Each structure stands twice: as C-alpha cells, then as structure tokens.
Amino acid sequence: MTPPPYSRPLPGPLAAARRRLLLAAWLGRPSPATIEVDGFSLMFEAGLPDPRPSMGFSAAAFLLEAMQVRPGERTLVLECGAGWVSLAAMRGGARVVSMDPNPNALQCVRRSSLVAGFGEPDVRTGDGLAPLGVDETFDLVAWMPPLLDGPSGSGRSDRHVVGDRARITNVLKGIHPRLERGGRVLFPFPDRDATPWLHDALRNIGYRFAAVRYSQAPLLGPVRVYKAWPAGQSRPGEVAAGEALSGASWVLRDR
C-alpha cells in the first residue's frame, strides 16, 4: 500500500486535543504490577508508558516488527521504558545495554530479565547518551523517541510522548559516531509531526536512511520505522524505493 503524502501538523487547538487524547490513552491507564506481553512477564512500575497496544497501536510492537538482531550483536536500547524491546533483543542473542532517564524503568528491566532467565542485565540511568562510556560503540541502536512534535512537557511522563526537534536531532548526532561498521539505528516516528524536517536532520548529520515499515495509527496518523546508518563514502540521504539493501550489502555499499 502506498503511504499518503506527508501532512502538515494539525493546527493549534486540534493539535493540543490530539496530544491530550494520546496522553490519556498511553499514560493514563492503570499500572499493573506485571504485564504479560510477547511471552514475557514485564515487572511494571507506575509512571511508565504501557507498551501494550492502545487503540490498536503500540510503538514498541511496531519497532519490533522491523528489529532484527544477530547473536552477539552489541545493542543499545535507548528510552527503554518497561523493557519489552530490551528483552526481545536479549532473546535474539544480542548483548544489550538498556538506558532510560527514569530509574523505575531500569528496575523493571532488571527484574524482568532475571525472571526471563537472561541474567543480570546492563542497565543505566541517565538522559540521552550521557551514561555511555567515551569509546562504547554498537551494532544496533533501537530508540523509542518522543512520538509527537512540540515543546517538552514539564512532567516526566510527557517526555515519552511530547518531544522537541532540537533534542531529537542531538540524540541522532550522538548516535552517529557510536555505530560500528555496518551498524544502524532503528526508530519509529510519525509522518505528520516529523517529516520533512527529520529527513533534513538525518541527511545533514550524515546518515543514509530508509523507511522500512509503515502503519496508520489512530490519532497519531501515519507512522514509519526508520532505519539509518552512516553514509560513509556514499551521499547522505534517503535510499530510493527498491534500492534499500540490508546486512553486509550496506557495509559494502556505504563503507
């Protein structure tokens, strides 16, 4: 199915109403002690966004549709939340580092990892990429960025739904030099609020990128999962339809 053309953000009051509805749907649900999802028992803490589908859509599930990890790959799960994406990467044999600014999220990941039999996880609390060591690099960065464009909210929970372009761009800049040869960053983002400024940011940072999944989410509108990787010797920018390569082919073309 051909996705619709990019749409402009909803104006004023309509945009505010849409954000309120999304906040109520994703953050206003009761916080159970344990969430059963995808064969995992996530030990849940109050104040975290529920990763399960709401109104038929889950950003975490959408990201996982496109996430492929190989055994031994060093994987960073950024803004990991309750840990569904982290556990899925562990199940695939990846060596996972989970990071989130909310310390409750790291407690969830630790307990859920132990319950799932994956052992003691590498979990770190902090904003953005600050908790990483200077020389740490990754084969895959799976990122759950804010899903709506706009000023950051004052409440901690707002960070998971409302973000600003400068912060998102800075995180993408920080990820770029931390990707290994053949490494990639994978993240979901809404067309209505993101493009074309997101495409411009990826191009200016030095990424080649492609939208590898598409969905039409209630209220949020058209959403894509983007895969981006350092351009190397190639020209930065969006990979044309039918040109997208995977795995070793990217390494040979863009390195």
pLDDT: is 152 or 163 the higher one? 163
Q: How many CB atoms lie within 10 A of CB 24?
A: 11
pLDDT at 153 over 60: no
Q: Tell me which of 26-40, 137-151, 167-181, 213-227 is least confident.
A: 26-40
What percent of the chain stands above pLDDT 70? 73
Residue 241 phi, psi dihedral angles, 5° rounding: -55, 130
How much is the average pLDDT of 43-68? 84
Half-sphere exposure of 78 (CA within 13 A, CB side): 24
**Peptide bond preceding 196 in cis form (omega within 30 of 0):** yes
pLDDT at 31 over 70: no
User: What does the block give as tokens for 216?
Assistant: 């039409």
pLDDT at 140: 98
**Which domains, ranges and CATH numbers included, belong to the chain?**
31-254 (3.40.50.150)
How much is the average pLDDT of 208-236? 89
Q: How confident is the model at residue 203 (pLDDT cuts 50, 70, 90)?
A: very high
d(CA 106, CA 73): 21
Q: Supply the Cα-derived Rg of the chain in whole angstroms.
A: 17
Q: Tell me which of 25-39, 90-104, 192-206 is least confident.
A: 25-39
Beta bridge partners of 186: 142, 227
pLDDT at 237: 94
Q: How many CB atoms lie within 10 A of CB 8?
A: 7
pLDDT at 208 over 80: yes
Q: How confident is the model at residue 145 (pLDDT cuts 50, 70, 90)?
A: confident
User: How do 237-238 and 34-37 pair as beta strands?
Assistant: unpaired
pLDDT at 75: 98
Mean residue pLDDT of the chain comes to 79
Taken in order 239, 245, 247, 251, is the CA torsion positive or negative?
A: negative
d(CA 33, CA 41): 10
Q: How confident is the model at residue 51 (pLDDT cuts 50, 70, 90)?
A: confident
pLDDT at 171 over 80: yes
pLDDT at 127 over 90: no
pLDDT at 126 over 80: yes
Segments of 101-247 assigned E as strands: 122-125, 138-143, 148-149, 162-163, 179-190, 207-217, 221-230, 237-238
Q: What is the pTM of this model?
A: 0.79
pLDDT at 1 over 50: no
pLDDT: is 25 or 215 the higher one? 215
pLDDT at 225 over 50: yes
pLDDT at 24 over 70: no
Range picked from 35-44, 119-128, 210-219 for highest mean pLDDT: 119-128
Alpha carbon of 37 to those of 88, 167, 176, 247: distances in Å? 11, 30, 31, 28
Q: Alpha carbon 2 to chain centroid distance?
A: 23
